[in-house]
């Protein structure tokens, strides 16, 4: 027969084994921070040229349009300015196309609206076009005019105007 201490010892061992089986896994939670910063940006500016066509004389105004395409971050405020061009003596109000890098010129103007009364220059916000980005490409029309003037020598006249997008 077993004595009392052997029985109690056996019960104690059995109780400990039972407790070990009853221990459960623990969970500790913490937070992982995730962040991104979106900055205002404008990209992908492209243009379609203004082609005033072919004319023998410039006795009346000749109008045509071109476009500027720009993609800016959704909500980004921007302005678009147009430089004077490369023609000798050109300004943002009286631009000049030249023929074959020569001295003969044809005057022309660029405007911000279809009525061709509001000049398009490059001094924000005085004579630029402003907008707000949508995150998608936006197309802005440039309204050009060759005013009636004495026709210079025959040839193909051209100019290059810098488009500045400020945001």
Q: What is the CATH number of the domain that holds 149?
A: 2.60.40.1090
* 34 domain-assigned: no
Question: Domain span at residue 56?
Answer: 42-166
DSSP 8-class letter at 119: B
Question: pTM for this one?
Answer: 0.80
* 9 domain-assigned: no
pLDDT bracket for residue 23 (50, 70, 90): confident
Three-class SS state of 142 = strand
* 138 domain-assigned: yes
Q: Is 29 exposed, middle or buried (0-12, 13-18, 19+ CB in 10 A)?
A: exposed
Give the containing element (helix H, strand E) for 105: strand 105-111
In angstroms, rounded to a whole number, what is the distance separating the alpha carbons of residues 89 and 166? Answer: 25
Residue 158 CB contacts under 8 Å (≥ 6 apart), including other chains: 97, 98
* 10 domain-assigned: no
* Confidence check: pLDDT of 127 > 90: yes
* Confidence check: pLDDT of 15 > 60: no
In angstroms, rounded to a whole number, what is the distance separating the alpha carbons of residues 13 and 40? Answer: 70
Average pLDDT over residues 99-117: 93
- Return phi, psi of residue 30, to 5°: -145, 175
* Confidence check: pLDDT of 12 > 70: no
């Amino acid at each position: 027969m077993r004595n009392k201490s052997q029985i109690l010892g056996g019960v104690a061992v059995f109780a400990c084994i039972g407790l070990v089986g009853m221990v459960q896994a623990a969970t500790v939670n913490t937070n992982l921070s995730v962040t991104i910063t979106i900055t205002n940006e404008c990209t992908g500016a492209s243009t379609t040229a203004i082609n005033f066509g072919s004319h023998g004389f410039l006795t009346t105004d000749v109008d045509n349009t071109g476009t500027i395409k720009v993609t800016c971050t959704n909500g980004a405020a921007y302005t678009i300015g147009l430089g004077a061009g490369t023609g000798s003596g050109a300004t943002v109000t009286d631009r000049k196309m030249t023929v074959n890098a020569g001295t003969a010129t044809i005057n022309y103007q660029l405007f911000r609206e279809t009525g061709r009364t509001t000049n398009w220059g490059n001094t924000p916000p005085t004579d630029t076009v402003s907008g707000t980005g949508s995150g998608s490409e936006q197309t802005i029309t440039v309204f050009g005019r060759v005013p009636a003037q004495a026709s210079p020598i025959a040839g193909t006249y051209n100019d290059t105007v810098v488009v500045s997008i400020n945001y």
